[in-house]
Structure 1
Amino acid sequence: MSETSFILTLTSAPLPGIIAAVSTAIADLGGNIHETHQHWDRPTDRFFLRVAFFGPEGLTATAVEQALAPTAEKLGLDLKVVDAARPPKVIAMVSKFDHALLHLLYQIRVGWLHAEVAALVSNHEDARRFADHEGIRFVHLPVTPETKPQQEAALLALVDETGAELVILARYMQILSDDLTRKLSGRAINIHHSFLPAFKGANPYKQAYQRGVKLIGATSHYVTSDLDEGPIIEQDVARVSHADTAEDLVAIGRDTESRVLARAVKSHLERRVLLCSTRTVVFGK
């Protein structure tokens, strides 16, 4: 018998009976739960739940949400169900540093990232060859202070047109306006070339080299109007030594950035990341 696959996520007040009610509703639909995670965040007094389950052939995400609607209304659940078999559409944005983008495209090609790149957007022409090679639509949006509002409007129109669920800033070296970050809240991920909050600003690897650091890192976070201070999804570090040059640090840093961004994107696409005020709840496997 064929099966369908779904992921349910919800946030709510930490009321008793939530897991039981959700599990019962899924069972009544013929569903079979194969993975579940939950967390009660005491500082915010919010409850978070992620449930992955199989369902009988013909079951849809809409039907699951409709079956759970009475429970959601009764318990005040902010609930969403998605079809896990459908690859989410994403838009990747890049400037001239292409290492993180190429890693993403490779991981999508080999299936580690379950996604469809609806468009590759850049303020330069350099990345067009990668889009052509992968058969991806390329959109050139050069940005100047005068054209920035129009270019951001074009980006939002592209998101609406393609149905993209996520915008990935794969070393896109332009600061998004407050208005755009609000409209993309929870739907745009950035990679920062430092283990935040250390060594912000220009040329962080030179700063790190001059300070004789022993660890360098990268941070992937949701984009907000507070520059490089959005809710953090993923971080990692790499050990370096006095024998490494500033160029070595750049190379090590690029590798770290690429892996951190890919892991953050994977967690988001698998609905493992739930926003919790200025922080995130990230459920592992």
Structure 2
Amino acid sequence: MTTSSTRFILKLSCPDQAGIVHAVTGFLLEQGGNILTSAQHGDADHQRFFMRIEFECAAAQSEQALRERFAPLAQRLQMDWELVAREAKTRVLLLVSKLGHCLNDLLFRVQTGHLAVEIPAIVSNHRDFYQLAASHNIPFHHFPLLNSTPEQKAAQERKIREVIEENQIDLVVLARYMQILSPEMCKYLSGRAINIHHSFLPSFKGARPYHQAHERGVKLIGATAHYVTSDLDEGPIIEQEVARIDHSMPPEQLVAMGRDVECVTLARAIQWHAEHRVLLNGNRTVVFR
């Protein structure tokens, strides 16, 4: 979609070499751009450079025209890049199962203006939260999985893809969606799906991580927000948070504390992604906070 704006965000990564900052800022100067914020990082291990710039123009500019003018420079420097209007809101699809704490938290943050995204739809394999969705005037799609046969799972994921495409979804969030996505679905959503894992990864992967933590006598529990990949619970990490615990706390108390941590961690990851602050760096991320 072509829009006109005065404020834009440019994020990029490319092989590290001399003159990248000069070339990019010189381009912005030629377009009448004034830099508002700038952050950069050079990864010496992988010889890769990362940059995020927010800039404004004195007069409204076409987003598409700016992209077309920047493309030759990006090609010359072998960039992976994105240029977007600052005010454009990320369109988020929420996937949820039977635990609704993250879903409820995200809906409240959006409703109160503390998370600047749009939520055009909610998808679930259960009916539990259709009334919550209705209270926020958000369409609720119930796509059940009565059994886990490959055929039924493929059919259900096709329905999810239809919702994504019909609603022009930018980001899919697994807000405690307790289904493993197929490798095909993971590839389709590469770089635009975030999962919240109720554990401080890479420790205690899989089911019942708080009970695993209790059995091991750990002193910290946490949550991890990461991009979804076909490697279960091993995608690039965006954000993590922890809470201190002690020997007197039963697993149920750890679960309750952990849910609060999950909500905060997931909201931060979504916000940073929506503000184009996250750049992929192989199996890691660069996050310009």
1:16 paired with 2:9, answer: no
The alignment partner of 1:182 has SS state of helix
Report if aligned partners of 2:5, 2:62 keep a CA contact under 8 Å in 1.
no
Taking a change above 3 Å as real, the CA distance of residues 235 and 120 of structure 1, as seen in their structure-2 partners, is same
Letter in 2 for 1:56: A
- Kindly tell me the number of residue pairs found equivalent between the two proteins: 283
The one-letter code of the counterpart of 1:52 is E
Deviation digits for residues 95-139 of structure 1 (CA, Å, limit 9, x no counterpart): 011111111111112222111001100000011111101111111
Distance in 2, Cα, partners of 1:199 & 1:69: 44
Which segment is superposed worse, 168-177 or 31-40? 31-40
- C-alpha distance in 2, partners of 1:55/1:243? 58
Tell me what 1:132 maps to: 134
- The corresponding residue for 1:78 is 80
Where in structure 2 are there 5+ consecutive unaligned residues? none
Q: Which residue in the other structure is 1:218 paired with?
A: 223
- TM-score, length of structure 2 as denominator length: 0.94
For residues 145-180 of structure 1, the C-alpha deviation after alignment (integer angstroms, 9 at most, x for no partner) is 231101101111211111111000000000000110
> Where do residues 136-285 of structure 1 align in structure 2 (5 Å cutoff)?
136-143=138-145, 144-146=147-149, 147-284=152-289
Mapping of residues 77-96 of structure 1, within 5 Å: 77-96=79-98
Deviation at 1:64, TM superposition (A): 1.6
Q: List 4+ stretches of structure 1 deviating above 4 A.
A: none
Match of 1:108 in 2: 110
Q: Aligned equivalents of 2:84 and 2:20: distance in 1?
A: 19
Q: Percent identity?
A: 49
Which residue identity does 2:144 align to in structure 1?
P
Kindly provide the CA deviation profile for residues 59-113 of structure 1, in whole angstroms up to 9, marking residues without a partner as x. Answer: 1221221221232232222221011101110100000111111111111122221
- Asked if structure 2 preserves the Cα contact closer than 8 Å seen for 1:60 and 1:83, the reply is no
Alpha-carbon distance in 1 for matches of 2:97, 2:86: 31
User: Residue 59 of structure 1: SS of its match in structure 2?
Assistant: strand
Q: 2:80, 2:260 → 1: CA distance?
A: 37
Q: 1:99·1:258 contact (CA, 8 Å) conserved in 2?
A: yes
For the Cα contact (< 8 Å) 1:221–1:232, is it kept in 2?
yes
Aligned amino acid, residue 24 of structure 2: V
Letter in 1 for 2:102: A
The alpha carbon displacement at 1:58 in A equals: 2.3
CA distance in structure 2 between the partners assigned to 1:126 and 1:169 by the alignment: 16
- Between the aligned partners of 1:5 and 1:109, the Cα distance in structure 2 is 24
Letter in 1 for 2:11: T
**AA of the residue aligned to 2:50:** F
Whole-Å separation in 2 of the counterparts to 1:211 and 1:152: 37
Q: State whether structure 2 residue 50 is matched by structure 1 residue 30.
A: no
1:279 and 1:245, CA in 2 relative to 1: closer, same or farther beyond 3 A?
A: same
2-structure distance, mates of 1:244, 1:267: 33
Partner amino acid, structure 1, of 2:10: L
Structure 1 residue 233: Cα displacement: 0.5
Unaligned residue ranges in structure 1 (runs of 5+) = none
**Contact 2:93 2:173 (8 Å CA) reproduced:** yes
Do the aligned residues in 2 keep the contact of 1:3 with 1:56 (CA within 8 Å)?
no
Contact in 1 for aligned 2:5/2:85 (Cα 8 Å)? no
